[in-house]
Amino acid sequence: MASTELRKADFTTRQDPLPLFGDWLDEAGEAEPNDPNAAALATCGADGLPDVRMVLLKGFDARGFVFYTNFESRKGEELRENMQAAMCFHWKSLRRQVRLRGPVAQVSDAEADEYFASRARASRIGAWASKQSRPLESRFALEKEVAKYTAKFAVGDIPRPPHWSGFRIAPVYIEFWKDGAFRLHDRIVFQREPEEEVWTKTRLYP
């Protein structure tokens, strides 16, 4: 379906959340000025205090929704303590929201290697140089780390750092929200048991 037709179509009749998510992400790619794949990622470590920050979605399929990060970052620590997370996409230009939640697993080393290898050389060096979420004395200290790894990897491939990989959220809940007049929005939610394939769809009050 062309994107204008999709935009007019009634999404609440859709029966499968993944193709619907794919259509909305594609439309966001056309409508949003930046980062249509950006999502707020919520985690909650052992202290029970929720945390949230943006990440970029780097893939999704029947297995789940993947993002990449430093495993020694705050989010990495929180996920180690509690392998569950939620994501929320908000596409302002389209007035749409998608939220999902579920258990989290680490992606395979092969999958992470493949994605890491696709990144710009400077980004790969940055992954080595940044001790993400730990105190940094100065911008200069970061630049020294970048220079150190630039020299170290001056020749040949840059391997993926052992502390850098991807997480996959396997959603048990995916909700689609679309703005409606006078706050009478449309909401549908797809739910399933962990590791089940069949989704149950419910419409929710706005």
Ligand X SMILES: Cc1cc2nc3c(=O)[nH]c(=O)nc-3n(C[C@H](O)[C@H](O)[C@H](O)COP(=O)(O)O)c2cc1C
Tokens representing 179 are: 């703005």
Active-site residue, selected from the candidate residues 7, 99, 183, 192: 183
- Smallest gap from Cβ 195 to ligand X, in A, equals 26
Contacts of 124 (CB under 8 A, 6+ apart): 116, 153, 158, 160
| The only residue of 133, 142, 163, 191 in contact with ligand X, by rule CB under 6 A | 133
Tell me: does residue 160 bind ligand X (CB under 6 A).
no
- Smallest gap from Cβ 115 to ligand X, in A, equals 11
- Smallest gap from Cβ 37 to ligand X, in A, equals 9
Residue in 82, 73, 20 with CA at minimum distance from that of residue 46 = 82
Number of residues that bind ligand X (CB under 6 A): 16
Let me know if 99 is a catalytic residue: no
Inter-residue long-range contacts of 71-74, CB under 8 Å, 24+ positions, other chains counted: 71/163, 71/164, 71/165, 72/131, 72/132, 72/133, 72/134, 72/163, 73/132, 73/133, 74/133
Tell me: does residue 35 bind ligand X (CB under 6 A).
yes
| The only residue of 25, 44, 56, 83 in contact with ligand X, by rule CB under 6 A | 56
Query: Residue 51: phi, psi to the nearest 5?
Result: -135, 150
What are the catalytic residues? 183
Contact set with ligand X (CB under 6 A)? 35, 38, 51, 53-56, 67-70, 73-75, 132-133
